A and B are shown apart, each in its own frame.
Chain A
Amino acid sequence: MLSFEEQVIPLDGWITQFIDWLVDGYRWFFQIIKWPVELTLSSLDNGLLAIPPLLIILAFCLIAWRVSGLRLTIFSFAALTFIGLLGLWEDTMITLAMVFCSVIFCTIVGVPLGICAGRSDRFDALLRPCLDAMQTTPAFVYLVPIVMLFSVGNVAGVLATIVFALPPIIRLTSLGLRQVHPELVEAALAFGATNWQVLRKVQVPLALPTIMAGLNQTIMMALSMVVIAALIGAGGLGAPVVLGLNSLDIGLATIGGLAIVLMAIVLDRITQSMGTQKKN
């Protein structure tokens, strides 16, 4: 008879053992992975904090002006100034650095993977379940191993964010490539394009709006990880929220949340306009 009280697969124990074994024997390997992320993050962090707030606000306004128009420019100016007035400027810059850093690595890893998945059905079939797992596994599950392997702090926060925010850019890059009309690829081949030329001159340019939509999604998901990353000691706008939560300081948690929402709207509108920009 099958009795679930006696017959249990000790998978939890195995996993613990596996992680312990990984931490004991291969921590050096994870430290190597950590190194480029750490370097990028600290330069972004230091850079953003060194620049006077007004310059950063102006830079945002300029970008908003270039990609969209007056409305977004005014909104960006107001939102960022308001965040500064809330006394959260420094936290915002740390969050921005973390978001940028994760998005950079998501793009570096995600776009090539998406291109491979877009061009090969087999690779796509292989990748799909991994992406599903990355998106559905609650972040809390992988926070512990990440802390064990990479210790606490901003870098661990960024790594957790990368795991969470990577899938959309891969998926949408792949989708974008698949949406390119096969006749255009055929035409390029007929005129003697190599595989690389097909990719560079036809598929990627035509998939660009979709890839940009993926980038936008990745940024949004990275922002939504800010609070969770704060649980493993990452700074930024998540910190006041977590602190407020722990000390039942509703006001502190709310202004942290408000700043996150404003940041999200500004980044979302800017990247969305980038994706739909006209060629003229």
Chain B
Amino acid sequence: MVIFYGYGMEKIAVKNLYKIFGPDPEIALKLLEKGESKETIYEKNGLTVGVQNANFTVNRGEIFVVMGLSGSGKSTLVRLINRLIEPTSGEVLVDGEDVIKMNRAELVNFRRKKTGMVFQSFALMPHLSVLDNTCFGLELDGIAKGQRVERAMDALKQVGLDGWEKAYPEELSGGMQQRVGLARGLAVDPDIMLMDEAFSALDPLIRTEMQDELLKLQDRHERTIVFISHDLDEALRIGDKIAIMEGGRIVQVGTPEDILQNPADNYVRAFFRGVDPTGVISAGDIVRDNQPTVIWHTPEGSTRATLEMLNNLDREFAYVLDSEHRFFGIVSTDSLLDLLEREPGKTRIEAAFIQQGKPVQESECLQDILPLVASHSWPIPVVTEGNVYRGVVSKNRFLRTLYRAENDRQKI
């Protein structure tokens, strides 16, 4: 893992951030300190508390989803990060620099170089072509024409819109318009993408498609993304971390599994009602490394030794790995005995591999691995992206996880 000097993995750190709408926000700040509620402040002083004491950090390359119902302050929060809305107090540190202390010119420069934004309503310029819309940020920054066209075309290609550059936004469908919105954000090549309900206006099928598109883009080039959403499935699908907002406060921050397994309060629980835990918990979350493993190092000689080991341990299956712990295959006492009986001379262990003994990826969710777990007698091996063996998911473990999740849901 690459460690960045100075501020480690932290890209954005928000500290004690407040936004109060109204003519005299200081009063509300003092009342909030005294513990007055948002509602009483609104009734007594007519001031609206938009965001109240927000604290969180977003790591480099992370998709940070801020979730909440409408009016929970999530759209305000994202605008406080690039100061489209002026915060009342607090700090927004990006790469260790406080955005709130920046002067006008520094802020303009920060917005041009470091951030891109995608809006729920697309906010494309109707008088500009797709290409000119994509160029927009670059043009503001005074990039020379040739270069900005090149970068914009590249961004359009990334979102699959090459060939549409001469069209006007009104001629495109909603999904395509938002691709232009995305391309406009990508063209400036920002470290941070702020996405305000970027896919909420799209119909469900297109929305899923766009989420996949975003994850694919993220694979190619890791950006720090702050994604505002009111859609739980979306949050769980794309979020590395999720913050849940209610009434201007952040009530919980955590990974999707954290939040699902230990909801902070009833508000959070209410969000997850009706969510199928098998779609959220992944194989990597419940993997156990408790099975015998065999390191395959020479082409010959390990068959008998493995059988001996299994008999000694009184186990049925062994997992064969190479010297770098990459998964190779599964053998059982039966398959080993079978091999020795059939061809006593041949001792290559590969010949004893169980035919269907395939591993699953650690990122695959329980839903995806259920058929495998159910249909095979051996615990299913789990590997990382690089095929490195991490352990297994047994039937027993799988069922216990389901049982616990089901119990949690019933408690809600």
Q: Is B20 positioned at the interface, with any CB of A under 8 Å from its CB?
A: no
B111 & A205 in contact (Cβ 8 Å cutoff): no
Q: Mark B166-186, 1 if CB is under 8 A from A, else 0.
A: 001000000000000000100
Roughly how many angstroms separate A252 CA and B113 CA in the complex, as a whole number? 69
Q: Is B224 positioned at the interface, with any CB of A under 8 Å from its CB?
A: no
Roughly how many angstroms separate A156 CA and B136 CA in the complex, as a whole number? 47
B111 & A184 in contact (Cβ 8 Å cutoff): no
> Is chain B's interface secondary structure helix, strand, loop, or mixed overall?
mixed
B111 & A192 in contact (Cβ 8 Å cutoff): yes
- A148-204: which residues lie under 8 A (CB-CB) from chain B? 181, 183-184, 186-194, 197, 201-202
Q: Is B264 positioned at the interface, with any CB of A under 8 Å from its CB?
A: no
Q: How near does chain A come to B90, taking the closest CB pair, in angstroms?
A: 20
Take A191-B112, A191-B116, A191-B140 as given contacts and tell me if A186 and B123 are in contact as well, using a CB distance cutoff of 8 Å.
Answer: yes
> Is chain A's interface secondary structure helix, strand, loop, or mixed overall?
helix
Q: Is B72 positioned at the interface, with any CB of A under 8 Å from its CB?
A: no
Q: Mark B101-116, 1 if CB is under 8 A from A, else 0.
A: 0000000111111011
B126 & A191 in contact (Cβ 8 Å cutoff): no
Q: Mark B142-169, 1 if CB is under 8 A from A, else 0.
A: 0000000000000000000000000010
Roughly how many angstroms separate A126 CA and B139 CA in the complex, as a whole number? 36
Q: How near does chain A come to B235, taking the closest CB pair, in angstroms?
A: 22
Roughly how many angstroms separate A186 CA and B116 CA in the complex, as a whole number? 12
Q: Is A206 positioned at the interface, with any CB of B under 8 Å from its CB?
A: yes
- Within the complex, which residue of A181, A191, A197 is in contact with B188, where a contact is CB–CB below 8 Å? A191
Q: How near does chain A come to B223, taking the closest CB pair, in angstroms?
A: 16
Q: How near does chain A come to B347, taking the closest CB pair, in angstroms?
A: 67
Total interface residues in chain B, CB < 8 Å: 27
Q: How near does chain A come to B340, taking the closest CB pair, in angstroms?
A: 70
Q: Is A279 positioned at the interface, with any CB of B under 8 Å from its CB?
A: yes
Q: Is B56 positioned at the interface, with any CB of A under 8 Å from its CB?
A: no
Q: Is B271 positioned at the interface, with any CB of A under 8 Å from its CB?
A: no
Roughly how many angstroms separate A201 CA and B125 CA in the complex, as a whole number? 9
- Within the complex, which residue of B125, B127, B140, B194 is in contact with A192, where a contact is CB–CB below 8 Å? B140
Point out which of B116, B124, B137, B188 has the most chain A C-beta atoms below 10 A from its C-beta.
B137
Q: Is B119 positioned at the interface, with any CB of A under 8 Å from its CB?
A: yes
B119 & A187 in contact (Cβ 8 Å cutoff): yes
Q: How near does chain A come to B130, taking the closest CB pair, in angstroms?
A: 13
- Residues of chain A contacted by B184 (CB below 8 angstroms): 191
Take A184-B125, A206-B127 as given contacts and tell me if A191 and B84 are in contact as well, using a CB distance cutoff of 8 Å.
Answer: no
Roughly how many angstroms separate A183 CA and B140 CA in the complex, as a whole number? 17
Residue of B with least CB distance to A197: B140
- Within the complex, which residue of B121, B127, B136, B168 is in contact with A191, where a contact is CB–CB below 8 Å? B136
Q: Mark A260-280, 1 if CB is under 8 A from B, else 0.
A: 000000000000000000010
Point out which of A183, A192, A194, A279 has the most chain B C-beta atoms below 10 A from its C-beta.
A192
B123 & A206 in contact (Cβ 8 Å cutoff): no
Roughly how many angstroms separate A261 CA and B194 CA in the complex, as a whole number? 57
- Residues of chain A contacted by B350 (CB below 8 angstroms): none
A279 & B127 in contact (Cβ 8 Å cutoff): yes
B117 & A187 in contact (Cβ 8 Å cutoff): yes
- Residues of chain A contacted by B111 (CB below 8 angstroms): 189-192
- Residues of chain A contacted by B52 (CB below 8 angstroms): none
Q: Could you write out 18 A-B pairs with CB less than 8 Å apart?
A: A183-B123, A186-B119, A187-B124, A187-B125, A189-B111, A190-B84, A191-B111, A191-B136, A191-B137, A191-B140, A192-B109, A192-B113, A192-B140, A192-B141, A193-B108, A197-B140, A206-B125, A206-B127
Q: A184-B123, A193-B108, A206-B127 are in contact. List 18 more A-B contacts (CB 8 A).
A: A187-B117, A187-B119, A187-B123, A187-B124, A188-B140, A190-B84, A190-B194, A191-B116, A191-B140, A191-B184, A192-B111, A192-B113, A192-B137, A192-B140, A192-B141, A193-B140, A194-B108, A206-B125
- Residues on A lying within 8 angstroms of B by beta carbon are 181, 183-184, 186-194, 197, 201-202, 205-206, 279
> Would you list the 8 A-B pairs with minimal beta carbon distance, nearest first?
A192-B112, A192-B111, A187-B123, A191-B137, A190-B117, A183-B123, A192-B108, A205-B127
